[in-house]
Amino acid sequence: MAEYGKQRVLGKVIVLLLLIVTMSAGAIVWFDYLNVIDAKSILSPVYRLIGREGRSQEKIPVDVEISLDAERLAVSLEAIGLHEQELEKQEQDLNIRHREIEQMAQELEERQKALDERENSLNALVRESENKDKNDTQNARYLTGMPPQNAVEIIGEMDDQTAIDIFRKAEEIANAEGTPSIVSYWISLLPPERAAELQRKMASRPQSLN
């Protein structure tokens, strides 16, 4: 009875081994067909044994093989290209900003130049005014110190504005020194028409607007 049991177990083991070998062979054939593995060298004798030609698989050329290093190099080159584009954009932005700064500096320089010219013009006017005031003061003192008739002859040769400036400077000096003004006497010695014109202009224009 025990002997019979052993034979039965041995038979099951053999059947299982045959089943495993068959399934493994089938799996090898199927994976080779799907190009998952290359088992042509193993299956060729079997194909010839059953009278069939072994299936050949086209080999991938060496120059088209996927290379990990080539992929990494391509990625690196692409990253470098993007970085170069970014640097070029930054350079363009910096150039634009540099031109804007240069333009602003030029505008500021022109404004400063205009301000300097205006300041020089104002200074020139101030100096001219100061010189005119000094001249008016000297002329007023000079005319006041000479005989009135001689002074009126000189005043008669002056234009209206110059004569008015002399009159006012003479009055200013007389007020500052506390002496009587001779201006009214000069005017009385002028021809009536000229005297009236000078008095009209002096009355219509304040002294601050001379």
Q: CB–CB of 56/71 below 8 Å?
A: no
Q: What is the largest CA-CA distance in the chain?
A: 178
Token reading at 161 = 């504005």
Instruction: Write down how long the chain is.
Output: 210
CATH number of the domain encompassing residue 113: 1.10.220
pLDDT tens by residue, 17-44 = 888 878 877 776 666 666 656 555 555 6
Give the residue from 136, 145, 128 showing the smallest Cα distance to 179. 145
How does DSSP classify residue 65? Answer: S
- Other Cβ atoms within 10 Å of 130 Cβ, number: 10
Q: Does residue 44 lie within any of the structural domains?
A: yes
Residue 36 structural domain = 19-57
Model confidence pTM above 0.85: no
DSSP secondary-structure letter at 53? P
In a domain, residue 63? The reply is no
Write the DSSP symbol of residue 52: -
Instruction: In whole angstroms, give the CA distance from residue 32 to residue 101.
Output: 71
How many independent structural domains does the chain possess? 2
| 82 inside domain | no
- For residue 90, being part of any structural domain is answered with no
DSSP state of 146: S
Going 193 to 197 to 203 to 208, the CA torsion angle's sign is: negative
Tens of pLDDT along the chain (210 residues) come to 555 556 677 777 788 888 887 887 777 666 666 665 655 555 566 556 555 555 555 554 545 455 677 777 888 888 898 888 999 999 999 999 989 999 999 898 888 888 888 888 777 777 776 788 889 999 999 999 999 999 999 999 999 999 999 999 999 999 999 999 999 999 999 999 999 999 999 888 655 444
